[in-house]
A = this chain, B = another copy of it.
Amino acid sequence: MLSSIECMAVVVAALYGILAATRKSLDVVGIFVISFSVAFGGGTVRDLFLDRHPLFWITNDHYLMIVLAIAIAGSLMPRLVARAEPYLAVPDAIGMALFTVTGAGFALQAGTSPFIAMFLGAVTGTFGGVIADVLCNEIPSVFRSSPLYATCSFLGGGAYVAVRLFGGEVWQAVAIGVGVVVLLRMLALRWDIRLPIATTGHADAPPDRSA
């Protein structure tokens, strides 16, 4: 059950990678690396931060093969992937939620504080997309005005951590954490809830740290 949700999360992440890569007219190498980044980037950064080895995708090499197969198929049928996009929001929210609670869980296991566990949950849930956006030469979309995404992940990780701290079982924490992430994300999409953006009006000039 958990393992099939995990597999779905990887597949959906890979599909988002294909969407991002085809919009930049990348070849299959680019599509594969971008899909890999969306799917495994967040978990890899978390594992490097926590010094957890071997990395998830090194031990479970079938996930890398699945992403490669999806990338090759996607490079042959990009329009099919593009047509699937409207149906990806719900599975993406579930996948992001799952990544979030596993990230927060591994952090607690490694002995971090609750706040760091929330932070690493959100890193696991969202940083793959950040890396993919950087590789595509875009400012990461989670940093820009858009319906709540990283915020859902952070708060859902907080729910997971809270349940664990108050003595709940892992499965209870997972259920509640995933539920909070998915619910918040669905509300944010439905009502277009965004964080305010901050601007000083000097768009595009880098801060003058060096002058």
A99 close to B (CB within 8 Å) = no
B residues near A110, Cβ cutoff 8 Å = 54
- Contact between A146 and B211 (Cβ–Cβ < 8 Å)? yes
In the bound complex, do residue B55 and residue A147 qualify as a contact, i.e. CB atoms below 8 Å apart?
no
State whether the Cβ of A135 lies closer than 8 Å to any Cβ in chain B.
Answer: yes
Distance (Å) between the CB of A133 and the closest chain B CB?
7
B75 touches A198 (CB 8 A): yes
In the bound complex, do residue B29 and residue A198 qualify as a contact, i.e. CB atoms below 8 Å apart?
no
Question: Do A92 and B151 touch across chains, with their CB atoms under 8 A apart?
Answer: no
Stretch at the interface among A2-10, A45-53, A155-163, A168-176: A45-53
The count of residues in chain A whose C-beta lies closer than 8 Å to any C-beta of chain B is 84
Q: Which of A135-172 contact B (CB under 8 A)?
A: 135-147, 149-151
Q: How far is the CB of A128 from chain B (nearest CB, A)?
A: 11
B31 and A198 contacting across the interface, CB-CB below 8 Å: yes
The interface bits of chain A over 23-60 (1 if a CB of B lies within 8 angstroms of the residue's CB, else 0) are 11111111101100000000010001111011101100
Given contacts A143-B29, A145-B27, A196-B75, contact A207 B55 (CB under 8 A): no
